[in-house]
Structure 1
């Protein structure tokens, strides 16, 4: 699947998740949603490359000599950034949810 298609699919998914959020919060997280979609698409491409090369280059005659591949480093950075962005987006969603009354409310 092309990177552009991955971006579009993730953007649509996140936009749909946030469609019920109040308009001001939607505007606030618009950039984060785009960043999350971008990181998802970038990691898709990096992951395909890593499937072919692996994350570490091992010297053919001396297996103890190893060198991390730059693609792997970038992939891990992107994963961490993606996780932070998703966590921030989830925080906005969580604050928008009105907790339903439970049985413990009777004891107040």
Structure 2
């Protein structure tokens, strides 16, 4: 799978999840959806690289000498940012679900 395929798949997945959300809220989160897809695609590439190198470089003669790989640091930063974006998007979904429940409660 290519990086742009991962980006496109994540955008489509999140757009599908948000299709039932009111249009003004969907417009509000468009940028966050794109950011989430970007971070997912970037981490896809970094993860492939890290599968070969590992997160830490260990000196062959002195195993106690270790050096973190820059790609590993960036992967973790991206992962944290992605988690925050997804948490924010989920909060909007949850708020939308609560509002829908409230409207239905009026008719009971």
Q: TM-score with structure 1 length normalisation?
A: 0.91
Moved more, 90-99 or 72-81: 90-99
> Which runs of structure 2 are paired with 1:14-25 in the superposition (5 Å)?
14-25=14-25
Structure 2 equivalent of residue 43 of structure 1: 43
SS in 2 for 1:99: helix
Separation of aligned partners in 1, 2:27 and 2:77: 26
SS in 1 for 2:101: coil
Q: TM-score with structure 2 length normalisation?
A: 0.91
For this pair of structures, how many residues does the alignment match?
A: 102
Identify unmatched segments of 5+ residues in structure 2.
none
Q: Which runs of 4+ in 1 moved over 2 A?
A: 98-101
Identify unmatched segments of 5+ residues in structure 1.
102-108
